[in-house]
Amino acid sequence: MSRQIVIAISPEAPETRYTIQWAIDNFLRPNGDTVHLVSGMCLESDLDAISLGINAGDLAGYLIDIEDKNEASVAQAISEYAKLLSDANISHESAVLKGHSDVRDTVVKYIEDVKADTLIVGSRDLGVWKRLWLGSFSDFCVHAVHCPVIIVKGVDAKHK
């Protein structure tokens, strides 16, 4: 029976490649699992035309252009990580999850929708203060999803 495994990634984070490779080497079953590579994008912005120094009428177009560029960048990164899965004979799907609220909620909803058997996330090894102010995605997921969560510790010097 095929397991539905979600790997939530932050494409620009150096830990992402390590997390996916760890999952391939230690957890995923070739020809047996379906991996969902997901990354979230928040569509809300506190930007306004005045702070950007542009005409108010151009704001919507400007924000759409930024969103399109960000989505293209994320899609490019995801395709590179998807190749790692393909090379390991692991079935996969990719999704850029867009939401107008907290991206974490969007990812949790996706996990529920696909009835994931497991969530795998990387750890950025935030310090106490950063974790306090930024919040920990992995900690949020541990408390919000209804499936086991595997947290892959970040890359240390010997794995770089």
Is residue 53 predicted with pLDDT exceeding 60? no
Q: What is the pLDDT of residues 15-52, one digit of tens each?
A: 889 999 999 999 999 988 999 999 887 665 554 444 55
Helix runs in the chain, H state only: 15-26, 49-52, 59-87, 103-113, 128-134, 137-144
Fold of the domain built from segment(s) 3-159: Rossmann fold (3.40.50)
The structural domains of the chain, with segments of one domain joined by +, span: 3-159
CB 28 within 8 A of CB 90: yes
What tokens were used for 8?
A: 């939530």
CB 114 within 8 A of CB 145: no
Average confidence (pLDDT) over 49-66:
55
Average confidence (pLDDT) over 76-102:
88
| Torsion sign across C-alpha atoms 74, 80, 84, 87 | positive
Q: Which range (95-99, 105-109, 126-130, 139-143) has the least confidence? A: 126-130
